Amino acid sequence: MTAVTAHGDSLRVATFNTELSRKGPGLLLRDIVGGDDPQVLATLDVIAEAKPDVLLLQGFDYDLTGEALAAYIAALRDYGLDYAYSFSARPNTGMPTGLDMDGNGKLGEPRDAQSYGRFSGQGGMAILSRHPIDIGAVQDFTELLWRDLPNALLPETEDGPFPSEEALAAQRLSTTNHWVVPIEVPEFGRLDIMAFQGSPPVFDGPEDRNGKRNHDETVFWQHYLAGHFGETETESFVLLGDINQDRRDGEGIKSAIINLLDDPRLQDPMPKSAGSETATGDPFDTVDWTDPVPGNLRVDYVLPSADWQVVDAGVLWPDPDSTLGQTVIAASRHRLVWVDIAR
């Protein structure tokens, strides 16, 4: 008996922070085509177990020609999963700014990029789909400046804007990307995938730069649904990703995630797992971080719009003593989260 049951006539949408990011450009491609990297193989096993129809990959290094993604899709095909359609675009991770973005008086460090990265594209995102993606209709908000978000919580100290007025004038909102990606599903029509990955609300100082950024990256979606960035549909979407925020536990400004999860325009299926319950007594966690701090938290979400019927949902986190449980541990600290939706 497997951890994930068949999903029949419904559509399975999943998010998975693979943590496949490597320390230099080209290294992920090397590890994929080599065919024997334990972590790469474990992530392939996890995805093959879940068999999502639409999958948001995170923690996956972006390269301009898409070679690593193409190699990974080919590897999934060997597992019997055919994702004929995909989308990715350059993330803000590692994108040079030429400015001191963390206020330590130095230039050219990973934290001086638009968001942390040893190289441009480190730890990007991609969407894989069994169904056609309308590439021409994709909305990409990755270049949106943080200060252009309504009521932005820009970091400040007693000395003024942090780290400087010049840095904030150049600072983009997205840690990785903010996308709206339309997918044409024959049985259900158009599905908008609203995808992002929030900044970890830690690794900063009293200015709470990362905490405020995480808050505003999440708040972005409510502004988007309200039409603040152009016309939008408030139905037939799924909002998903590693938000890096738990509404109850861990650090960060909780109001954004609470308001998002309570927004009547979407629904929270509250997926759970036996593995998480075994580990902590909380069945809803999605990541196994170092104990006691930050510990296990719920940070990965798949949130369908309110008009969808949720058929089933879960976190692929089986008993850690099982063979599959060991594979899941080898793949990533994050667990794949899936939701089955229908009309």
pLDDT in tens, 63-76: 999 999 999 999 99
pLDDT above 70: percentage of residues in the chain: 98
For residue 342, the 8-state DSSP code is E
Residue with tokens 């925020």: 245
Given a cut of 50, whether residue 336 has pLDDT beyond it is yes
* Alpha helices for 35-119 (secondary structure H): 38-50, 67-78
Distance between CA 18 and CA 11 in Å, rounded?
A: 21
Distance between CA 257 and CA 240 in Å, rounded?
A: 12
Q: Per residue in 154-198, pLDDT tens? A: 999 999 999 999 999 999 999 999 999 999 999 999 999 999 999
Asked if omega into 294 is within 30° of 0 (cis), the reply is yes
- pLDDT score at 163: 96
Given a cut of 60, whether residue 330 has pLDDT beyond it is yes
Q: Per the structure block, which two tokens stand in for 231?
A: 């016309």
Distance between CA 265 and CA 237 in Å, rounded?
A: 10
Residue 139 β-bridge partners: 180
Give residue 290's pLDDT band: very low, low, confident or very high (50, 70, 90): confident
Alpha carbons within 13 angstroms on the beta-carbon side of residue 99 total 17
Give residue 294's pLDDT band: very low, low, confident or very high (50, 70, 90): confident
Q: What is the mean pLDDT of the chain?
A: 95
Give residue 1's pLDDT band: very low, low, confident or very high (50, 70, 90): very low
Mean pLDDT of all residues in 27-55: 98
> 3-class SS at 195?
strand
| Burial class of residue 89 (count of CB atoms within 10 Å of its CB; 0-12, 13-18, 19+) | middle
Mean pLDDT of all residues in 248-261: 96
Residue 300 has a CB neighbour count (10 Å cut-off) of: 26
For residue 20, the 8-state DSSP code is -
Given a cut of 90, whether residue 92 has pLDDT beyond it is yes
Mean pLDDT of all residues in 141-162: 96
* Cβ-contact 18, 43 below 8 angstroms: yes
Given a cut of 70, whether residue 151 has pLDDT beyond it is yes
Residue with tokens 């989308």: 87
Mean pLDDT of all residues in 202-206: 91
- pLDDT score at 202: 92
Q: Which has more pLDDT, 230 or 69?
A: 69
Mean pLDDT of all residues in 196-213: 95
Given a cut of 90, whether residue 7 has pLDDT beyond it is no
Given a cut of 60, whether residue 6 has pLDDT beyond it is no
| Burial class of residue 5 (count of CB atoms within 10 Å of its CB; 0-12, 13-18, 19+) | exposed
Q: Is the dihedral of CA 54, 149, 262, 253 positive or negative?
A: positive
- pLDDT score at 4: 59
pLDDT above 90: percentage of residues in the chain: 93
Distance between CA 290 and CA 312 in Å, rounded?
A: 29
Mean pLDDT of all residues in 263-278: 96
Q: Per residue in 95-125, pLDDT tens? A: 999 999 999 999 999 999 999 999 999 999 9
